Amino acid sequence: MDRIIETNSSEMFIEEREKSQGTIPKRINTDSENVEKGLAKLVLTLIELLRKLMERQAMRRIEADSLSDGEIERIGDTFMKLENKMAELKEIFGLSDEDLNLNLGPLGDLM
Amino acid sequence: MKIYTYGIIDAHDRIRDEAILGLEGARIYTIYYLDIGIVVSELEQQTRYIEDNILEHERVVEKLMEYFTVLPMRFLTVFDRKEDIIQMLKDYYRDFKKNLKRLRNKVEFGVKVIWPGDKVREEIASAYTKQYELPIANNSAGAKFIQEKFKEYKIDKKYEEEANRQIEVIDKFFCEFASEKKLEKHLNKSLLLNAYYLIDKEKQSTFKEGFERLKGAASGFNYLFSGPWPPYNFIILNKKSYSLKA
């Protein structure tokens, strides 16, 4: 059978492909400012990931009715403060939400 | 001079009628170990990652695929000496044999689907009603925060359910004909599915019919259907150091 490549929108798939390829840097920046920012980005990405995992875990427990009203409010308070702190840190290092969301190629977006 | 590799084949598969040329126009030949072989050609110069060469590599693999079962090597897998190649064939012999048996007469087809994820999410969000609100009496900032987070969580959950439901519908069209599949699900908000199906060569046209039926049923979705390809995504290796996927 001859090769078939069929689509109803080649532009959309070209765009998708370019999006995933754009996240792999072609060169590594090694000057000191970029190394610092790169390190901050890595650390904050990991913190963000953990924070989101904890939030999700809390949501599951709320859904399963395993937390009291008081506990729910306290969690809300803690997470709110965490989120605000993260926003501060992102601003200090000049990082956006997109900067901290890694595209893992075949595994999709990190968050 | 180095040895450039294209793919693993059964030793009894030989190309008789034509000389196939590989990179640098060099004639390909097979190096054997027991009852398997690896198709190679000799490389004079250092080959870098240039688009032309990857097309050459692909062309050779596909030509071989016309004749027999091939486990394609990753582009630019080059060895210094024949002895190194033989050692590799020895190390991976069992893996290669198992894969050749499993993938004999089978080809790969790819299906990608883009869906209006943003729109779907919006619809779910607008259908979210007060029944999902948490029964917290307090109106503190923390309480409001958690309400908002919970709402987002419920919407995300519904969104994921809907995405999985759609994927199941699409997958069902193809599963009838596929002996194996590999699904990459909702990789981002627009790419709903990236699927690979392993099909018997004889079932290719019925597989394509499945695709035609899907086209008719799925409006508002964008799809990319391609194949047949060598079975890049279905090679299973137990030894991790070499990857055969292109």
Contact: A5, B226; criterion CB under 8 Å: yes
- Residue B173 and residue B213 in contact, taking contact as beta carbons nearer than 8 Å: yes
Contact: A69, B136; criterion CB under 8 Å: yes
Boundary of a domain, candidates B104, B126, B157: B104
Residue B138 has, within 13 A of its CA and on its CB side, a CA count of: 16
Does residue A60 lie in a domain region? yes
* SS3 track for chain A: CCCEEEECCHHHHHHHHHHHHCCCCCCCCCCHHHHHHHHHHHHHHHHHHHHHHHHHHHHHHHHCCCCCHHHHHHHHHHHHHHHHHHHHHHHHCCCCCCCCCCECHHHCECC
Does residue B245 lie in a domain region? no
Q: How does residue B33 score in pLDDT terms, banded at 50, 70 and 90?
A: very high
Q: Do residues B119 and B206 share a domain?
A: yes
Q: Residue B131 has what pLDDT?
A: 64
ipTM of the complex: 0.76
**Given A13, A74, A83, which is nearest B224 (Cβ)?**
A13
- For residue B9, the one-letter residue type is I
Q: How does residue B136 score in pLDDT terms, banded at 50, 70 and 90?
A: confident
Nearest chain A Cα to B211, which residue? A6
Chain B neighbors of A59, CB-CB under 8 A: 149-150, 153
**Given A55, A75, A108, which is nearest B188 (Cβ)?**
A108
Q: Does residue A6 register a pLDDT over 90?
A: no
Mean pLDDT of A71-100: 89
Report yes or no: A1 at the B interface, CB cutoff 8 Å.
yes
User: Where residue B128 sits, what CATH number does that domain have?
Assistant: 3.30.70
- Name the nearest CA neighbour of B149 among B132, B126, B174, B173: B132
Is the model more confident about B86 or about A52? Answer: B86
**Given A8, A59, A80, which is nearest B142 (Cβ)?**
A80
Report yes or no: B205 at the A interface, CB cutoff 8 Å.
yes
Give the count of domains, chain B. 2
Does residue B240 lie in a domain region? no
Question: Between the CA of residue B90 and those of B3, B7, B32, B61, B239, what are the distances in Å?
Answer: 17, 15, 10, 22, 12
Structure confidence by residue, pLDDT tens digits, A32-63:
667 777 888 888 888 888 988 999 899 999 98
Q: Give the list of residues 6+ apart from residue B167 with CB closer than 8 angstroms, or none.
A: B183, B185, B186, B192, B193
Q: Does residue B228 register a pLDDT over 50?
A: yes
Report yes or no: B141 at the A interface, CB cutoff 8 Å.
yes
Does residue B228 lie in a domain region? yes
Mean pLDDT of B198-207: 89
- The pTM of this model reads 0.80
Q: How does residue B246 score in pLDDT terms, banded at 50, 70 and 90?
A: very low
Q: What percent of chain A has pLDDT over 90?
A: 20
Boundary of a domain, candidates B64, B87, B104: B104
Contact: A69, B135; criterion CB under 8 Å: yes
Round the average pLDDT of chain B to a whole number and report it. Answer: 86
Residue numbers of the domain that contains B66: 2-104
Does residue A44 lie in a domain region? no
Q: Residue A99 has what pLDDT?
A: 79
Q: Does residue B196 register a pLDDT over 90?
A: yes
Does residue A55 lie in a domain region? yes
Does residue B238 lie in a domain region? no
Give the count of domains, chain A. 1
Q: How does residue A7 score in pLDDT terms, banded at 50, 70 and 90?
A: confident
Question: Between the CA of residue A53 and those of A70, A78, A86, A99, B198, what are the distances in Å?
Answer: 21, 14, 15, 18, 35
* Three-class SS state of B92: coil
Mean pLDDT of B114-118: 91
Structure tokens belonging to residue B157: 């959950």
* Residue B6 backbone dihedrals phi, psi, to 5 degrees: -115, -45
Q: Does residue B49 register a pLDDT over 80?
A: no
Report yes or no: B21 at the A interface, CB cutoff 8 Å.
no
Q: Does residue B245 register a pLDDT over 50?
A: no
Chain position carrying tokens 């002895």: B83
- Name the nearest CA neighbour of B188 among A25, A3, A109: A109
Q: Do residues B8 and B115 share a domain?
A: no
Q: Does residue B44 register a pLDDT over 90?
A: no
Which A residues 81-110 touch B at CB under 8 Å? 83, 103, 106-109
